[in-house]
Chain A
């Protein structure tokens, strides 16, 4: 098997089959990253196309210090966040509440039902999960997607987003709490009608 560095060198020299190879190797990951951040197929396709157009145009700027996929993640994430910001320009600004563990101070804590995984076939429940992600502001959503869904390390995510590792950790915590609270709310509603 030829090493990726060699394929990149060939692609830079204009070898089309090497370029195709790079696109094929990374397109699934980039498409899924786009889907998870953008939340719809059309926008995910735009992110996919723009990412690889950028890759082919700027490949000579890839230093090889990081792996190609984290470099591509950075390009794709920037494109996705830019798109989300453009979309939101006309909408009211939503700001995330500062989670201060409010639930821990109140008295509403209740154990979640067991075997929640079984509920994921329930359309209403899936919808709730999806809406919560859509409601999560993009800066937090990107961190959650990169860390918890794409399994990037804190360091890698920090590199992709060009923020500090401490910042990644804080945003990840807030994103998780935001989603958790939305879900808790939904589960409570479900409980009442049972």
Chain B
């Protein structure tokens, strides 16, 4: 089956996909996704992608040697 979408809903979906990760789903998109499982799968998979990166790219502390070299370069005393 061919998946047809008018430009209006495509623009709304694009808007959703560029919005905050935690943003509420735009009403039109939510409504569309109820009738269109493909779009739901797609939007969900983008969310899942972001979530995976947020988990795997967790914050490192600056390694001690890196910090030592930084303060040395800056000629500052790292108390």
Which residues of A pack against B, CB within 8 Å? 16-17, 19-20, 23, 27-28, 31-32, 35-36, 41, 45, 48-49, 52-53, 56, 101, 103-107, 109-112, 116-117, 120, 126, 129, 133, 144, 148-149, 154, 168-170, 172-173, 176-177, 179-180, 183-184
Flag if B69 contacts A49 (CB, 8 Å). yes
Q: Mark B1-41, 1 if CB is under 8 A from A, else 0.
A: 11101000010011101111100000000000000001101
Contacts of A173 in B (CB 8 A): 14, 17-18
Task: Tell me the interface secondary structure of chain B in the complex.
Answer: helix
Task: Tell me the interface secondary structure of chain A in the complex.
Answer: helix
Q: How many residues of B contact A (CB 8 A)?
A: 46
Flag if A120 contacts B45 (CB, 8 Å). no
Contacts of A48 in B (CB 8 A): 62, 66, 70
Kindly provide the distance from the CB of B7 to the nearest chain A CB, expressed in whole angstroms. 11
Flag if B51 contacts A149 (CB, 8 Å). no
Flag if B49 contacts A104 (CB, 8 Å). no
Query: How far apart are the CA atoms of A149 and B76 in the complex, in Å?
Result: 30
Among B17, B21, B56, B73, point to the contact of A49 (Cβ < 8 A): B73
Flag if B45 contacts A112 (CB, 8 Å). yes
Flag if B76 contacts A169 (CB, 8 Å). no
Chain B residue nearest to A166 in the complex (CB): B18
